[in-house]
Amino acid sequence: MKKLIIIKYGELTTKKENINQFIRCLNENIKSKLSNFNIVTNYDKGRLFIKSLDDNYDEIMNKLKEIFGIHEIIIGYEIATLDLAEIENILLNLLKKENFQSFKVDTKRSNKKINLTSIEINKEIGSFILKNVLNTKVDVHNPDLIVHLELRNNESYIYFTSIKGLGGYPVGTLGKGILMLSGGIDSPVAGYLAMKRGVKIEALYFESPPHTSEEAKDKVEALARILSKYNGSLKLHVIHFTEIQEAIYKNIPHEYLITIMRRMMYRIAEIICARENAKVIINGESIGQVASQTLTSMRAINEVVKLPVIRPVACFDKLEIIDIAKKIATYETSILPYEDCCTIFVPEHPIINPNMKKCEEYEKLIPYKDLIYQAIKNHEVIKITPNKKNDYEDIL
């Protein structure tokens, strides 16, 4: 008998054609997440198994809770036999550690060569437990303990409880997207939700020194670091946006500042997508939240790019977004009070129904193609990993 972790796939089971690719990706994600652990994984179409050579299953479980594409995480036992009598003996030993007054047996028999049906096995094991464990009874509706038994090709598996995984698809199975990460509450949540659907993300941040501070950038790095837990690691693209922003501020009617600025950002995001082979732009826009997020504004801004723009929180209320931000622990960082480049140069009355023709006319006033070219040329890429190296380690 060997202890091990059994992973149940979530929605993956609905995929017929691509399932192998999904599971392979999940297996890679798990191995990369657990690269510091001494483990062996193997998988088939129904289950993925993880064996730890150091028996540190609790730590591994905690790591697995940060991986998308997992429906349930189970600590179980592998028994290298299909013989019921042997299984019963081992089960009896395992039951000694469990505290229960009622139970039921739930058998899954993927090996159809076994003579007995699942229901017959349930009865057999159930009566064995009744005979051998004192003061217990069968309760199929509300048992204290469910004895799960799975009979597979050459082995069987026993387990009692499971915990929920994050669900979703393995990150990377659906390709890559560029997340416009501002430092606010919404965009990290948008990134999280995109990853949940299997999109691997890279983040894009616009900085405007001296109008924005180093602390604002640190904050974005901190947010990217939280997101990187789910993403493996995360590339953070930092665009130096000062020249573009100043050119807009000097030359364009102020009511259009934000609209034009967002159009520039979208253009840059699309170029980064092309360079990084990303298929979509992802951002934290939420319908109606601010002037640039009215439907008219969105249309006027969206017009400059051809790639799909995914807005995972578009239809969420602010409070719903905050709930998720708290759950994924980005909220505390998001509310730190540093200006980002969307909050400086804010006109008093930004236009809420921008006219597309006017946008195009105004943009002719600045050499934006050159400015964008310069910004892309000088852009900085930071590789973010979940564990920050402490800059002060040597001194503390």
Which residues lie across from 234 on neighbouring strands? 384
Which residue in the block uniquely carries the two structure tokens 């501070």? Answer: 213
Task: Establish if 396 lies at the interface with another protein (CB under 8 A).
Answer: yes
Task: Establish if 380 lies at the interface with another protein (CB under 8 A).
Answer: no
Q: How far is the CB of 121 from another protein (least distance, A)?
A: 48
Q: In the complex with another protein, which residue's Cβ is closer, 112 or 337?
A: 337
Which residue in the block uniquely carries the two structure tokens 């013989």? Answer: 83
Per-position x/- string for 10-39, each x denoting binding to another protein as judged by CB under 8 A, each - no binding: ------------------------------
Contact 290, 184 (CB under 8 A): no
Q: How far is the CB of 258 from another protein (least distance, A)?
A: 26
Copy the structure tokens of residue 294.
């009215």
Q: In the complex with another protein, which residue's Cβ is closer, 59 or 214?
A: 214
**Residue 170 corresponds to which amino acid?**
P
Q: Which residues of 107-120 are buried (b: 16+ CB within 10 A; e: fewer)?
A: bebeeeebeeebee
- Cα-flanking dihedrals φ and ψ of residue 57, to 5°? -65, -30
Q: How far is the CB of 215 from another protein (least distance, A)?
A: 6
Q: In the complex with another protein, which residue's Cβ is closer, 287 or 335?
A: 335
Q: In the complex with another protein, which residue's Cβ is closer, 215 or 303?
A: 215
Q: In the complex with another protein, which residue's Cβ is closer, 309 or 384?
A: 384
Task: Establish if 392 lies at the interface with another protein (CB under 8 A).
Answer: yes
The DSSP string of 360-372 is HHHHTTTTHHHHH
Which residues lie across from 149 on neighbouring strands? 107, 158
- Here the contacts of 344-349 (C-beta below 8 Å, separation 24 or greater) are 344/208, 344/211, 344/212, 344/245, 345/211, 345/245, 345/248, 345/249, 345/257, 345/261, 346/257, 346/258, 347/254, 347/255, 347/257, 347/258, 348/254, 349/255
Q: In the complex with another protein, which residue's Cβ is closer, 104 or 211?
A: 211
Q: How far is the CB of 37 from another protein (least distance, A)?
A: 23
Q: In the complex with another protein, which residue's Cβ is closer, 36 or 392?
A: 392
DSSP class of residue 389?
P
Of 53, 134, 315, 395, which one interacts with another protein (CB under 8 A)? 395
Which residues lie across from 103 on neighbouring strands? 138, 145
Q: How far is the CB of 181 from another protein (least distance, A)?
A: 21
Element spanning 90, H or E = helix 84-95
Task: Establish if 391 lies at the interface with another protein (CB under 8 A).
Answer: yes
Distances (CA, A) of 128 to 157, 244, 259: 17, 76, 72
CA distance 348 to 369: 27
Q: How far is the CB of 214 from another protein (least distance, A)?
A: 6
Q: How far is the CB of 393 from another protein (least distance, A)?
A: 9
Task: Establish if 332 lies at the interface with another protein (CB under 8 A).
Answer: no
Q: In the complex with another protein, which residue's Cβ is closer, 319 or 395?
A: 395
Contact 158, 75 (CB under 8 A): no
Per-position x/- string for 186-215, each x denoting binding to another protein as judged by CB under 8 A, each - no binding: ---------------------------xxx
Q: How far is the CB of 235 from another protein (least distance, A)?
A: 23
Task: Establish if 387 lies at the interface with another protein (CB under 8 A).
Answer: no
Q: In the complex with another protein, which residue's Cβ is closer, 59 or 215?
A: 215
Of 50-58, 69-77, 161-169, 388-396: span binding another protein (CB under 8 A):
388-396
DSSP class of residue 256?
G
Element spanning 147, H or E = strand 145-151
Residues 214-253 that bind another protein (CB under 8 A): 214-215
Q: How far is the CB of 213 from another protein (least distance, A)?
A: 7
Q: In the complex with another protein, which residue's Cβ is closer, 17 or 394?
A: 394
Which residue in the block uniquely carries the two structure tokens 């998308």? Answer: 68
Total interface residues for another protein by CB under 8 A: 9
Q: How far is the CB of 390 from another protein (least distance, A)?
A: 6
Task: Please give the residue ranges that form the binding site for another protein (CB under 8 A).
Answer: 213-215, 390-392, 394-396
